Amino acid sequence: MMISPTLADPSIVLVVEGAVAHLTLNRPDRHNALEAQDIELFRTCLATVEADENVRVLVVTGSGSRTFCAGASLKQMHTGDMSGDVFETLTNDLAALRVPTICAVNGGVYGGGAEIALCCDFRIGVTTSTLSVPAARLGICYPVSGLRRYVERLGLGVAQRILVANEELGADELLDLGFFDRVVEPDRLEEAAGALARRIAGLAPLAVQAMKRTLVGIAAGTLDEERARADVEACMRSSDLQEGLRAQREGEEPRFAGR
């Protein structure tokens, strides 16, 4: 399945292959920066993934070898067609997605592209990756939700280095600081992201999604404890648990149905 604004020139492409969805930002000539219409398309793709019960993991990446994403279109910021509020609708949707998300950062990551990566649950970078968020240099202050996400994921000190001091960081430092979970050579990125996606897709989806939801709630201080307890009980009553126990007992790979 593919979603694009036109068949001739898709700026964002969504392909679903079984339990794994792949979303690619597809404007390498403009460093995969997002205009307002791209934001809406991106959100439509996320809604498609959210609604598809067969999808168990989403991989987000960019096309080309230079840049994952340069964030919001600065041209549209100048004209007023793009704003922090518009961009925030996308990042909030991505962060709240039901299924685990993997960001395969295929090059540099700049501006709001860094927050898109932070919205994902896992981030794999390449040895050529660099990060720079020039908001303060441009006179931009990000919305509270975006700033909170930096602090939750990276800690106050790292957030200040990236946002307040506008430091440019390379792949090794991004790995050390926890922005990346793993760094690979560029020609191994697709393989590494695919292997992680397949591993997650093979796990019990009810348990995976419940633990993602609970962990995110704990980290953000917004945990719904009643919902978390209900998730625990649902997993205990699920046929997936019985399948997992059966497969463990018989030395086989489990086949989870998400029920």
Predicted local confidence at residue 76, as pLDDT: 81
Flag residues of the chain having pLDDT under 70. 1-9
How many domains, the chain? 2
Please check whether residues 124 and 212 belong to one and the same domain: no
pLDDT in tens, 61-109: 999 999 999 998 778 877 877 777 889 999 999 999 999 999 999 999 9
Please check whether residues 171 and 244 belong to one and the same domain: no
Residue 36, domain CATH: 3.90.226.10
- The answer to whether residue 255 is domain-embedded is no
Please check whether residues 88 and 48 belong to one and the same domain: yes
Please check whether residues 36 and 107 belong to one and the same domain: yes
- The answer to whether residue 114 is domain-embedded is yes
Backbone angles phi, psi at 187, to 5 degrees: -75, 0
Predicted local confidence at residue 2, as pLDDT: 52
CA distances from 217 to 10, 210, 213, 239 (A): 35, 11, 6, 26
Q: How far, in Å, CA of 144 to CA of 146, rounded? A: 5
Predicted local confidence at residue 78, as pLDDT: 73
Please check whether residues 193 and 209 belong to one and the same domain: no
Please check whether residues 144 and 165 belong to one and the same domain: yes
**pTM of the entire predicted model:** 0.94
- The answer to whether residue 166 is domain-embedded is yes
Question: 46: Cβ–Cβ under 8 A, 6 or more apart, which residues?
Answer: 23, 58, 93, 94, 97
Please check whether residues 139 and 68 belong to one and the same domain: yes
Residue 3 bridge partners (DSSP): 14
Could you tell me the residue range of the domain that residue 171 belongs to?
2-201
Predicted local confidence at residue 6, as pLDDT: 42
Please check whether residues 12 and 52 belong to one and the same domain: yes
Please check whether residues 192 and 210 belong to one and the same domain: no
CA atoms within 13 A on the CB side of 181: 16
Please check whether residues 99 and 40 belong to one and the same domain: yes
Please check whether residues 220 and 236 belong to one and the same domain: yes
- The answer to whether residue 109 is domain-embedded is yes
- The answer to whether residue 258 is domain-embedded is no
Predicted local confidence at residue 84, as pLDDT: 78
- Structure-block tokens of residue 47: 């809604």
- The answer to whether residue 233 is domain-embedded is yes
